[in-house]
């Protein structure tokens, strides 16, 4: 005969599942708000287009837009030790403290509309 879980156990399990779901939703919302804010900043104060460096069109990068593996690779490239067990936010802080410039956002992170706008900028049409 197996013991049935108590109401407290069921409530705790449900709360843990909800917390995990909420955290993912909040991370996606934060990422969306960050991109929206950056887009609004660009509209208010457009940066001059540097055709000699097409990567400059991608805009300023953010360590938080990068994967953990990418951040660890950056730490390795800049000879920063003691980062193997750090989480994404801590890796970003370490890289910032060492003066590392965040790479441009990956193309995969842009929407179709944003990519079309980048191509138009590159071609000088907008």
Residue percentage of the chain with pLDDT more than 90: 7
Our separate counts of H helices and E strands in the chain read 4, 0
In the prediction, which pLDDT does 52 show? 55
Q: What are the extents of the domains in the chain?
A: 1-46
Model confidence pLDDT, tens digit, residues 51-102:
555 555 566 677 887 888 888 998 999 999 988 889 988 998 999 898 888 8
Beta-carbon contacts of 122 under 8 Å, excluding residues fewer than 6 positions away, are 49, 51, 54, 57
Residue 48's pLDDT band, with cuts at 50, 70 and 90, is low
Cα separation values, 21 from 7, 25, 75, 97, 99, Å: 21, 6, 30, 32, 34
Query: CA 27, CA 8: separation in Å to the nearest integer?
Result: 28
Residue 38 has pLDDT above 70, yes or no: yes
HEC per residue, 18-64: HHHHHHHHHHHHHHHHHHHHHHHHHHHCCCCCCCCCHHHHHCCCCHH
**Residue with token string 């890289």:** 95
Banded model confidence at residue 50, pLDDT cuts 50, 70, 90: low
R_g (Cα) of the chain, nearest Å: 21
């Amino acid at each position: 005969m197996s013991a049935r879980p108590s109401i407290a156990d069921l409530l705790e399990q449900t709360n843990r599942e909800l917390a995990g779901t909420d955290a993912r939703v909040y991370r996606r919302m934060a990422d969306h708000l960050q991109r929206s804010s950056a887009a609004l900043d660009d509209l208010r104060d457009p940066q001059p287009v540097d055709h000699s460096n097409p990567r400059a069109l991608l805009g300023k990068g953010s360590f938080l837009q990068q994967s953990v593996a990418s951040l660890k690779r950056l730490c390795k490239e800049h000879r920063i030790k003691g980062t193997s067990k750090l989480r994404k936010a801590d890796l970003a802080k370490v890289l910032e403290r060492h003066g590392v410039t965040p790479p441009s956002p990956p193309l995969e992170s842009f929407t179709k509309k944003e990519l079309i706008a980048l191509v138009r900028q590159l071609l000088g049409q907008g």
